């Protein structure tokens, strides 16, 4: 039988039932005296069951309407802790050192500049002393090389007033030695030049003398030749005079060559003297530059050594309270970057730092309201603290348990919580759970979201 036929039969039965006369209403006690069958068929049903069924239907309709109209908050939950707005100050050494003094204890209030811990400064102090001495010596060296470039080096030597006397005396003696050495070298060159000049003068005088003798002999030779032509003078004597004349000419030629050699030697000696002076000047300039470089290098190294020595005395960077003191032994050894203690700044405002999960970061922005639950005080009994997102990091950090998370700073409306009528001040380091309101949605969307997720993921498996 088809559905259409079933509907026709049901409609026909309903019409027939409507046509039948309604049974006469009886009083309630009359049904008790009827036969059992008639009592069951004619007694009207109780109205309470029908009312209960109608009530359930009404509740379902109201709930459905509320789920469509009503809206609920979307919350992103993030764990974190309370921090000081200006951050706690971690005190750390810069190198391995021995502890020689501990001047604070946990909970102690300190002012900016107060000494917290003293470390053994022997190594750093030795570096400062060594570099100071090297710097002083290099500065004296600069004064010596500058003086050596002057016309009167010894009188021009003027080191710094605060230069150590033994460095000054040592440099003065060395300067005098250099001056004496250079003067001796110049005297040697000048002596050679004087000898060359004397030889040149002597040779030139000899040339003049020999030239006069040669002139006389040439005149005699000319006269004797005329006499020999007239057979008035012995030819042999004339030849002897001619030979002497030729020999004298040859000697004059040698002397003239010697003059040229002596003049060239004098020029060479003068050039050597100039070259020697230029070489000394070049060496002085190079040594002066080297000394100036050493001064610059030692100055920078000394600054670093002084700073390193200063950091051997650990002082409070701000006014605050000492916490988490990790070292308690005089003579103990600390390592570089080891946390020795932290200082919580005085009157610093508390903030909450929450670690927003990757799945929520796309919906968390500055300005969103936050409800902060302090783990130390159950929120069901002591309530929560309102806050506002102040800043959200755009760069993730690695967390051991949570993976990649985004730190967010939350500004709190208050930093106290009411416990049994007493205001208890919260402290940095308390763990929290931050519930960030990222928006709202209809209740029906929340109820149907599992179905929507199932629908989007179903029937796609391999």
Tell me: the pLDDT tens digits for 284-338?
888 889 888 988 998 898 888 888 888 888 899 888 888 888 888 898 888 888 8
- Radius of gyration (C-alpha) of the chain in whole angstroms: 59
Share of the chain above pLDDT 90, in %: 11
What CATH class has 89-118+313-341?
A: mainly beta
- CB of 76 closer than 8 Å to CB of 438: yes
CA–CA gap between residue 241 and residue 218 (Å, rounded): 9
pLDDT at 251 over 60: yes
Check residue 33 and report its DSSP letter: G
Helix (H, G, I), strand (E, B), or coil: what is residue 93?
Answer: coil
User: How do residues 60-107 score in pLDDT, each as one tens digit?
Assistant: 898 888 888 878 888 899 999 988 776 778 888 888 888 889 999 988
Q: Which residue has the higher pLDDT, 107 or 447?
A: 107
- At 355 the pLDDT is 93
Strands (E), 358-394: 369-374, 385-392
Question: Which residues are 398's β-sheet partners?
Answer: 404
- At 461 the pLDDT is 59
Q: In terms of DSSP bridges, do strands 97-102 and 115-119 run parallel, antiparallel, or are they unpaired?
A: antiparallel
List the one residue out of 345, 418, 346 whose CA is nearest residue 382. Answer: 418
- CB of 99 closer than 8 Å to CB of 331: yes
- CB of 336 closer than 8 Å to CB of 93: yes
User: How do residues 21-65 score in pLDDT, each as one tens digit?
Assistant: 665 666 665 666 666 666 666 666 667 777 888 889 889 898 888
CA–CA gap between residue 117 and residue 101 (Å, rounded): 6
Q: Over the chain, what is the mean pLDDT?
A: 82
User: What kind and span of H or E run contains 189?
Assistant: helix 165-229
Sheet containing 89-91: give its strands across.
Answer: 89-91, 341-345, 320-323, 109-110
Question: Which residues are 436's β-sheet partners?
Answer: 76, 370
User: How do residues 325-377 score in pLDDT, each as one tens digit?
Assistant: 888 889 888 888 888 888 888 777 788 999 999 998 988 999 999 999 999 99
Residue 35 token pair: 């036969």
Question: Which residues are 274's β-sheet partners?
Answer: none
Helix (H, G, I), strand (E, B), or coil: what is residue 268?
Answer: helix
Helix (H, G, I), strand (E, B), or coil: what is residue 252?
Answer: helix
- At 387 the pLDDT is 92
DSSP letter for each residue of 168-184: HHHHHHHHHHHHHHHHH
- At 44 the pLDDT is 65
Sorted by where each begins, the domain ranges of the chain are: 74-85+349-459, 89-118+313-341, 124-311
Taking residues 263-280, what's their average pLDDT? Answer: 84
- At 35 the pLDDT is 66
C-alpha dist (Å) from residue 198 to 62, 160, 193, 205: 137, 48, 9, 11
User: How do residues 152-168 score in pLDDT, each as one tens digit?
Assistant: 887 778 887 777 888 88
The dihedral built from the CA positions of residue 316, 322, 328 and 332, taken in this order, carries a sign that is negative
Q: In terms of DSSP bridges, do strands 341-345 and 320-323 run parallel, antiparallel, or are they unpaired?
A: antiparallel
Pick the CATH number of 74-85+349-459 from 2.40.30.170, 3.90.1010.10, 1.10.1200.10, 3.40.50.1000: 2.40.30.170
Taking residues 423-434, what's their average pLDDT? Answer: 87
């Amino acid at each position: 039988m088809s559905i259409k036929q079933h509907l026709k039969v049901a409609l026909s039965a309903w019409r027939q039932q409507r046509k039948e006369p309604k049974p006469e209403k009886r009083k309630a006690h009359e049904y008790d005296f009827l036969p059992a069958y008639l009592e069951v068929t004619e007694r009207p049903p109780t109205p309470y069951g029908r009312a209960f069924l109608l009530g359930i239907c009404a509740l379902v309709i109201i709930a459905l309407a509320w789920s469509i109209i009503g809206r609920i908050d979307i919350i992103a939950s993030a764990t974190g802790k309370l921090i000081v707005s200006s951050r706690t100050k971690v005190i750390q050494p810069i190198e391995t050192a021995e502890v020689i003094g501990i001047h604070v204890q946990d909970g102690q209030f300190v002012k900016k500049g107060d000494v917290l811990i003293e470390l053994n400064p022997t190594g750093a102090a030795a570096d400062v002393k060594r570099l100071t001495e090297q710097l002083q010596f290099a500065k004296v060296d600069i004064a010596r090389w500058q003086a050596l470039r002057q016309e009167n080096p010894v009188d021009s030597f003027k080191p710094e007033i605060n230069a150590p006397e033994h460095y000054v005396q040592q440099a003065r003696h060395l300067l005098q030695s250099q001056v004496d050495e250079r003067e001796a070298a110049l005297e040697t060159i000048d002596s050679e030049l004087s000898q060359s000049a004397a030889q040149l003068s002597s040779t030139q005088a000899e040339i003049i003398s020999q030239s006069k003798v040669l002139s006389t002999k040439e005149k005699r030779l000319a006269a004797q030749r005329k006499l020999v032509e007239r057979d008035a003078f012995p030819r042999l004597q004339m030849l002897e005079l001619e030979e002497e004349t030729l020999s004298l000419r040859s000697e004059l030629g040698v002397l003239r060559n010697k003059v040229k050699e002596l003049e060239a030697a004098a020029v060479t000696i003068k050039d050597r003297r100039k070259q020697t002076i230029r070489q000394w000047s070049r060496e002085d300039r190079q040594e002066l530059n080297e000394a100036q470089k050493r001064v610059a290098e030692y100055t920078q190294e000394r600054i670093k050594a002084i700073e390193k020595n200063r950091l051997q005395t650990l002082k409070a960077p701000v006014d605050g309270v000492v916490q988490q003191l990790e070292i308690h032994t005089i003579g103990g050894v600390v390592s570089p970057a080891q946390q020795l203690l932290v200082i919580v700044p005085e009157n610093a405002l508390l903030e909450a730092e929450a670690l927003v999960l990757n799945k929520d970061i796309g919906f968390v922005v500055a300005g969103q309201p936050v409800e902060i639950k302090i783990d130390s005080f159950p929120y069901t009994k002591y309530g929560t603290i309102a806050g506002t997102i102040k800043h959200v990091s755009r760069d993730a950090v690695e967390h051991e348990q949570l993976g990649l998370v985004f730190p967010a700073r939350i500004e709190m409306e208050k930093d106290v919580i009411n416990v049994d009528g007493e205001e208890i001040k919260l402290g940095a380091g308390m763990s929290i759970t931050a519930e960030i309101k990222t928006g709202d949605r209809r209740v029906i969307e929340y109820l149907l979201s599992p179905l929507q997720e199932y629908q989007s993921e179903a029937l796609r498996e391999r």
